Chain A
Amino acid sequence: MPKEILIVDDDPDFVETMEIIMQGNGYETRTARNGEEAFKKVKEKTPDIILLDIMMKTKTDGIWVSEKIRTEKDLKEIPIIMITAVNQDSEMAKFHLGQEKDMEYMPVNAFMEKPIEAKDLLKEIKKLIGGPK
Chain B
Amino acid sequence: MEPKICNINDPECHLDRIRGWHGDLEANITTLIKNLKDIREHSEEAKTACSTHYAKTVELTKAKTRFTYEVSHELKAPLASVYNILNVILDGYLEKDIKKQKELLNRAKVRINDVIKLLNDLLIFSRLEEGTGEIEMEKINIDKILPSLTEEMDIYAKENNIKINWDIPKKLPYIYGNPELLRRVFVNIIHNAIKYSNPKNTVKIKTKEGKSSFLLEVKDQGIGIKKNELPMIFNIFFRGENARPEHKKEGMGLGLSLAKRIIAAHGGAIKVKSKLNKGTTVTLSFPAIQKKEK
Chain A binder among B66-74, B134-142, B178-186, B273-281: B66-74
What residues on B are CB-neighbors of A114 within 8 Å?
76-77, 80, 83
Shortest B125–chain A CB gap in Å is 19
What residues on B are CB-neighbors of A116 within 8 Å?
80, 84
Partner of A14, one of B69, B81, B94: B81
Contact A85 B77 (CB under 8 A): yes
A124 to B285, CA, bound (A): 56
Which of chain A's residues 66-92 have a Cβ closer than 8 Å to chain B? 85-86, 88-89, 92
Given contacts A13-B111, A20-B94, contact A92 B80 (CB under 8 A): no
Work out how many contacts link A and B, with CB atoms closer than 8 A. 78
Contact B93 A14 (CB under 8 A): no
Shortest A39–chain B CB gap in Å is 13
The chain A residue sitting closest to B239, CB to CB, is A57
A58 to B249, CA, bound (A): 12
Q: Does any Cβ of A come within 8 Å of B31's Cβ? A: no
A95 to B237, CA, bound (A): 14
What residues on B are CB-neighbors of A57 within 8 Å?
239, 244-245
A11 to B111, CA, bound (A): 11
Shortest B113–chain A CB gap in Å is 13
Contact A58 B246 (CB under 8 A): yes
Contact B76 A85 (CB under 8 A): yes
A37 to B248, CA, bound (A): 14
Given contacts A57-B239, A88-B69, A92-B69, contact A10 B245 (CB under 8 A): yes
Which of chain A's residues 101-120 have a Cβ closer than 8 Å to chain B? 114-118
Contact A56 B81 (CB under 8 A): no
A18 to B81, CA, bound (A): 9
The interface of chain B, by Cβ under 8 A from chain A, is 66, 69, 72-73, 76-85, 87-88, 91, 93-94, 104, 107-108, 111, 239, 241, 244-246
| Closest CB pairs A-B (n = 4) | A114-B80, A17-B84, A115-B83, A13-B81
28 contacts between A and B (CB under 8 A): A11-B77, A11-B81, A13-B85, A13-B108, A14-B84, A17-B84, A17-B85, A17-B87, A17-B104, A20-B88, A21-B84, A21-B87, A21-B93, A33-B245, A57-B239, A58-B244, A58-B245, A59-B241, A59-B246, A85-B76, A85-B77, A86-B72, A86-B76, A92-B69, A115-B79, A116-B80, A116-B84, A118-B91
Known: A11-B81, A20-B94, A21-B91; 19 extra A-B contacts, CB below 8 A, are A11-B78, A13-B82, A13-B108, A20-B93, A21-B84, A21-B93, A57-B244, A57-B245, A58-B245, A59-B244, A85-B73, A85-B80, A86-B73, A86-B76, A89-B73, A92-B69, A114-B76, A114-B80, A118-B87
